[in-house]
A = this chain, B = another copy of it.
């Protein structure tokens, strides 16, 4: 794990690391914020994983989301991975912003040519978390996850598939029912092939119908002027599934009037997402 850069910010440090990933078979880059107690190593702080949307890398969220003052105050670390492998030479990797580079969709691809490198599910759930817990002053028993759009989908899917691993999950404008929308069907066809039963393992709305772990606190914010709201995201499908399935999920879904799909929207509600996670991360 190589430190690429570090800057002091809000009584803590913003860092960028690269490392050779065994899951993706290439070097991966991620951003980190550590509050000073973790910089000094005097406290193993809770950690929030953030999964970004299509086209993003490890920079977008940490630069634009306004999260750092709130993380500093709550003494919570932040880890922001890239959204895909990069530069692997996989055919079709470049040239389509919805597939390949910047569009890993947090799945383990089963189909050639993607299956060699495009293993973002296992990378985030296992390899990255292990690396962070082993290398930084963070508490591996106090981990929560959130994300935006494709990454909001990823946060919901990872939490629902791994009961007990994350204390809470939240999402900004998540892709919520990807087996039914262009964002989802396109990537699942490429990465997972024609068997739609496999697709359902990466669909939050399908997964929540069967969720049987500990009570899962979930917070979702959705702007009502988001151009992708009804066509690509469909968070109301997820809400309906939660309401009808009666699973152990404690869901708050808020529709925010006037807000769109951008980081202008995300930053407006970042403080309340961090407060939500802090409550669960700091619970005994």
Contacts and interface: CB of A to CB of B under 8 A. Distances in A.
A14 interface: yes
A68 B267 contact: yes
Contact of A268 (B10, B63, B259, B264): B10
A253 B259 CA distance: 38
B63 A7 contact: no
Interface in A40-88: 63-64, 66, 68-69
A225 B8 contact: yes
A263 B10 CA distance: 11
A70 to B, nearest CB: 10
Interface in A106-155: none
Contacts of A8: 223, 225, 258-260, 264-265, 268
Contacts of A258: 8
A9 interface: yes
Contacts of A9: 259, 264-265, 267-268
A281 B225 CA distance: 33
Which of the four size classes fits the interface of chain A?
Answer: 20 to 34
Given A7-B262, A7-B264, A265-B7, A66 B63 contact: no
Contacts of A267: 9-10, 68-69
Interface in A1-15: 7-11, 14
A40 to B, nearest CB: 12
A231 B25 CA distance: 44
Nearest to A223: B8
A260 B264 CA distance: 26
A258 B69 CA distance: 17
Nearest to A69: B66
Interface of A: 7-11, 14, 63-64, 66, 68-69, 223, 225, 258-260, 262-265, 267-268, 271
The 4 A-B residue pairs whose C-beta atoms are closest, nearest first, are A9-B264, A8-B258, A7-B264, A8-B259
17 contacts: A7-B259, A7-B260, A7-B262, A7-B265, A8-B223, A8-B225, A8-B259, A8-B260, A9-B259, A9-B264, A9-B265, A10-B267, A11-B268, A14-B264, A63-B263, A66-B69, A68-B267
